């Protein structure tokens, strides 16, 4: 059958074993110091191994492959002395992936501009703390309303950045713990924070500043405030 399944680039694989540990079905094993997909019918295609690969050696492909066989997985796990805990209920929308943003000529007035988003997911709550696209990245932390208020948000802020968005009022959580993990585990070059002028947006700015302090790193951070009429406040 034709279906999505993982593919491992042995040239990129550094043999860390993170993907094998993350695979709930035991579909990946370390062979001669490299990760290898042992059998197609062991792979459920959900991609829990993807966010754990530090070298971006694992991708999805669509090809002819045997259907996922849960019974075969149970037997394989038992033979390894491991307990099969069932298929994890992960949402495909939370899988970490890099997006290819193409440089295009300036659009005519009646032609939509190209998206500058370079990765997925973008929600602070969903993004894995360590993925290859964070390495050497310029980080954009933005209140989710800012993209609606500021017309040139893609060109002026998203372009060339890894984007994280959130709303401290609606999520009602402290983002500082997740942001601290991201800053500690990755080589972030700089941080741009964009917030609205409304008071509740101060929670996002405070979380970012707290995370930067807790990370123990000296990363330059610039804060921009967007007014309700879509202008950058001085």
Reported as a single tens digit per residue, the pLDDT across 92-131 is: 566 666 676 545 455 555 556 789 999 888 999 888 887 7
**pLDDT cut 90: percent of the chain above it:** 53
* pTM of structure: 0.65
The strand pair at 28-31 and 2-8 is best described as unpaired
The strand pair at 162-166 and 138-143 is best described as parallel
* Cβ(75)–Cβ(39) below 8 Å: no
Of 83-97, 116-130, 213-227, which has the strongest mean pLDDT?
A: 213-227
pLDDT at residue 81, rounded to an integer: 81
Q: Outline which parts of the chain fall under CATH 3.40.50.
A: 97-226
Q: Which of 34-38, 45-49, 56-60 has the lowest mean pLDDT?
A: 45-49
Q: Outline which parts of the chain fall under CATH 3.30.70.20.
A: 2-89
Residue 216 has pLDDT above 80, yes or no: yes
* Higher-scoring residue by pLDDT: 137, 132: 137
* Higher-scoring residue by pLDDT: 28, 46: 28
Mean pLDDT of 167-188: 90
Residue 33 has pLDDT above 60, yes or no: yes
30 pLDDT tier (thresholds 50, 70, 90): very high
pLDDT at residue 62, rounded to an integer: 85
* Higher-scoring residue by pLDDT: 25, 224: 224
Q: What is the mean pLDDT of the chain?
A: 87
Residue ranges in 65-133 assigned as alpha helix (H): 70-79
* Cβ(72)–Cβ(42) below 8 Å: yes
Architecture of domain 2-89: 2-Layer Sandwich (3.30)
Residue 215 has pLDDT above 80, yes or no: yes
Residue 82 has pLDDT above 90, yes or no: no
Mean pLDDT of 189-204: 95
The SS3 assignment for 43 reads coil
Instruction: Give the closest residue to 223 by CA, choosing from 214, 207, 215.
Output: 207
CATH C-level class of 97-226: alpha beta
């Amino acid at each position: 059958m034709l279906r999505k399944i993982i593919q491992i680039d042995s040239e990129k694989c550094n043999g860390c074993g993170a993907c094998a540990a993350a695979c709930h079905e035991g579909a990946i094993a370390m062979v001669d110091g490299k990760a290898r997909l042992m059998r197609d019918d062991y792979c459920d295609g959900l991609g829990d191994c993807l966010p754990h690969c530090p070298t971006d050696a694992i991708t999805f492909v669509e090809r002819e492959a045997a259907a996922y066989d849960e019974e075969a997985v149970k037997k394989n796990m038992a033979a390894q002395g491991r307990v099969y805990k069932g298929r994890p209920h992960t949402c495909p929308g939370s899988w970490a992936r890099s997006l290819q943003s193409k440089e295009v000529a300036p659009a005519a007035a009646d032609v939509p501009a190209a998206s500058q988003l370079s990765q997925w997911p973008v929600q602070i709550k969903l993004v894995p703390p360590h993925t290859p696209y964070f390495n050497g990245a310029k980080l954009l932390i933005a209140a989710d309303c800012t993209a609606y208020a500021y017309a040139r948000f893609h060109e002026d802020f998203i372009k060339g950045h890894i984007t994280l968005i959130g709303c401290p009022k609606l999520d009602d959580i402290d983002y500082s713990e997740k942001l601290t993990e991201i800053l500690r585990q990755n080589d972030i070059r700089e941080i741009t924070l964009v917030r609205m002028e409304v008071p509740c947006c101060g929670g996002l700015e405070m979380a970012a500043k707290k995370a930067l302090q807790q990370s123990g790193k000296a990363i330059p951070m610039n804060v921009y405030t967007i007014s309700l009429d879509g202008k950058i406040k001085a």
